[in-house]
Structure 1
């Protein structure tokens, strides 16, 4: 009887060891997996690839407008309204711009104060401003359009910007440039540490941006600039640069 109990005890112990074998095996096999993950992390290289292409712009955004002063807010507003109506008529009927390509960019009427020690702050009158943003696609005629606008009441040019209307069509080109640049950098690093370059593990993009070649901010057009004898405005669209950046992680062999 004592022998049977002892045997049963041995079976129970053996069963416990067998049952715990899976957990123990997992515990033992888990450590190498953890070390393997750490090893993978140690065997990578992270680089940033930059891509850039130069393309010709196909659209210009012009912000032009009218400023006026008057003794009253209503008077200043009426003065700009009359000039803007004349300017809009010119753009639509003479330059054949579609109504969808003409949009109010800003409009305000504000008091104009002067200050002196004797009288303090004193209302001098009112300033009114009304600006239009225009989309124009005949880039070789931008200078002529600006000159014509100046002759017909525009006395402000807030901005002239050349860009690409649909930059998405160039995404593949600029991304491929960035990928090639990333691979070049990673290859140089791998060679420097006596390793081989493996597969790509991850890629993230920083976005695509364009840098306009020409951008002019706030140009007040005086009478001399808008006169018949003044030379015509020469505005060159040049080229614009589309750029992107990619963060790429490679495996090292």
Structure 2
């Protein structure tokens, strides 16, 4: 009896060996070296970029400091123009106190309706009358060592009236008070088209700044080279305000109003480069 590997097993092993493709070993050392080269190049590029950023970071502030350190002189100039007003705005108000909110609202509305009607009868157009304030709130009574007590509701209503005839200001105030107004919040005078006067005031302000700068430069022994910047700080007018209501309620036939002149003022800041 023979022992050994069967013939069919040998043939099967031979077929598998022929059919299985040969595999070559990978060169891990070669791949590692290529990866190291790529990473090294990236690190070098990153270093160059960081160096460039640092240069820019330190370079630009230096130029900014040099620009700021240039000698300069800052001067404030003011200019004003006196002009006659041609428009007035008066504010008439009604304030009532009633037990309930509905009663306060109704009483206030009735009085204000009479005021507006009286103004229109005096020739004021509807588009010149505008509600400027309205409020309705509980009125509280406060006493020491006692809880607050509500005594009623207070209702306030104000209207603004624009008048282009200044001679009618006192007459309209009297008409409003005669119709039930118990507040005059204020009287303002202004010029409808004040742009030409603001320009004139602006020219005066710049000239004032130039004269001041010249005086300072002469005293300090420096020379003005040029204007670096001019900053306009706005214009303002000085109207008559807060006319007391006492004069109209004291029985005077017509409240005297003196509108005088308006002062339109402008302020500028001029920065000069000097040496």
TM-score, normalising length: structure 1? 0.74
Question: Cα offset for 1:250?
Answer: 2.4
Deviations 1:7-45 (A, max 9, x none): xxxxxxxxxxxxxxxxxxxxxxx9xxx7xx669812x32
Structure 1 unmatched ranges of 5 or more: 1-29
Question: Cα offset for 1:117?
Answer: 5.7
2:196 to 157, 161, 169: 169
Which residue of the partner structure matches residue 260 of structure 2?
238
1:121 to 148, 152, 159: 148
Which residue of the partner structure matches residue 70 of structure 2?
41
Structure 2 unmatched ranges of 5 or more: 1-58
Kept in 1, the 8 Å contact 2:133–2:157? The answer is: yes
2:100 to 72, 75, 89: 72
Q: Is 1:143 equivalent to 2:170 in the alignment?
A: yes
Deviations 1:186-242 (A, max 9, x none): 111121133443332221111112222x1116x556xx9447x43431121111211
Q: Larger Cα Rg: Structure 1 or Structure 2?
A: 2
Which residue of the partner structure matches residue 47 of structure 2?
none
Equivalence map 1:1-253=2 (5 Å): 41-42=70-71, 44-92=72-120, 94-116=121-143, 120-212=147-239, 214-216=240-242, 219=244, 225-226=248-249, 229-252=251-274
**Cα root mean square deviation, aligned:** 2.7
Deviations 1:143-178 (A, max 9, x none): 111112111111111111112223323221011000
TM-score, normalising length: structure 2? 0.69
Q: Judging changes above 3 Å, is the alpha-carbon distance between structure 1 residues 155 and 197 closer, same or farther for their aligned structure 2 residues?
A: same
Deviations 1:61-116 (A, max 9, x none): 11102112222111111111111111111222x22222221111111122222244
Kept in 1, the 8 Å contact 2:198–2:265? The answer is: no
